[in-house]
Amino acid sequence: MNRRDFARSCAGALVATSSRNHAFADEPAVTHLSDTPFPLSIMLWTVFRDLAFEARLESVSAAGYRNVELVGEYDEWTEDDFSRASAKRKQLGITFDCTAGLKHSLSNPAERDAFLAELRQTLPIMEKLECPAIILLSGDTVPGMSIEQQQQSCVDGLKAAARMIEGKKIRGNLVRLLLENIDPEENPKYFLTSSARGFEIVKSVHHSQVQFCYDFFHEQIAEGNLIEKLEKNIDHVGLVHVADVPGRHKPGTGEINYPNIFRKLAELKYKYVVAMEFLPVADPIAELRSAQKLVADSIHGRCRYDPKPDS
């Protein structure tokens, strides 16, 4: 199951990371908010889905964001569609910082060739979008294979993918492959439900252009202990996704102590993107602005953890 399928099922539901980590990759050319030490982004599948693509970008801009993450929204675009999207993005000063949506599995070695072919076909699209990073999913558990065999298959697949993008740059930034886990409640068949195992895989690949997308929503449901794993593995974190538990709503509405997490990211000198991937329950522009403010207020000591329902 690919990321877009996950998104649909849920709808009714950067490597210069720390100052000690410059060996990983170039500083990403994404827009920073003046009041946050790292750039904020919006995973587009969660918001403005009833609008045309260019209007969605306008709404992102109205919410105060300048970075957007995609999940194959462009799969059926014509050249004219790409041209219009590019013109609107540039007009608004928006960057496409990441994409996702590959359909083939890392955990199944029988799909290796198809996975690599799909990635090879996607790279020119990423260049057209000026998008230098892509999220990769492990795929579902393979019947008859041990956990160790599937983990090794993920390692081998990522190593092969890393060879394909070795030294490759888009918009002046090294192309990065970002492995992500999914919690077992969202997809009980999915192989990589543990971020701890995900970090093991990334470390085994041992390539500067292969990192981990740390999704706090998924990890809170799967295993918890969010901040300790962040501290131990910060050098391998290339993207952060934000939503609260339960419900995948905006930070501050549930059980995750996001102010502490945002402060910890700043303390660790994290420099890659923090992307909002939550489902609004009210006005999405207002909620996205509220999430942006929570990040800044948390980092600058202007708030404490006080979860409350959306007003």
Q: Count CB atoms within 10 A of the CB of residue 240.
A: 24
Backbone angles phi, psi at 298, to 5 degrees: -65, -45
pLDDT at 32: 57
Dihedral of the CA atoms 168, 200, 46, 123 (nearest 10)? 20
Say if residue 35's pLDDT is above 90: no
Say if residue 19's pLDDT is above 90: no
Percent of the chain whose predicted confidence (pLDDT) is above 70: 86
Say if residue 178's pLDDT is above 80: yes
In this predicted model, what pLDDT tens digit does every residue of 248-268 receive, in sequence order?
999 999 999 999 999 999 999
pLDDT at 302: 76
- Nearest partner of 134 among 143, 125, 146, judged by Cα: 125
| Across 198-220, average pLDDT | 98
pLDDT at 3: 41
- Report residue 31's pLDDT band, with 50, 70 and 90 as the boundaries: low
Contact 234, 228 (CB under 8 A): no
Q: Report H helices in the chain.
A: 3-11, 53-62, 79-92, 112-129, 147-165, 195-205, 216-222, 226-233, 258-267, 284-299
Say if residue 306's pLDDT is above 60: no
| Across 140-164, average pLDDT | 98
41 or 305, greater pLDDT? 41
Domains of the chain: 3-299 (3.20.20.150)
Residue type, 142: V
| Across 125-153, average pLDDT | 98
| Across 147-157, average pLDDT | 98
User: What is the pTM for the complete model shown?
Assistant: 0.88
Say if residue 24's pLDDT is above 70: no
- Nearest partner of 45 among 239, 284, 244, judged by Cα: 284
| Across 22-49, average pLDDT | 74
pLDDT at 45: 98
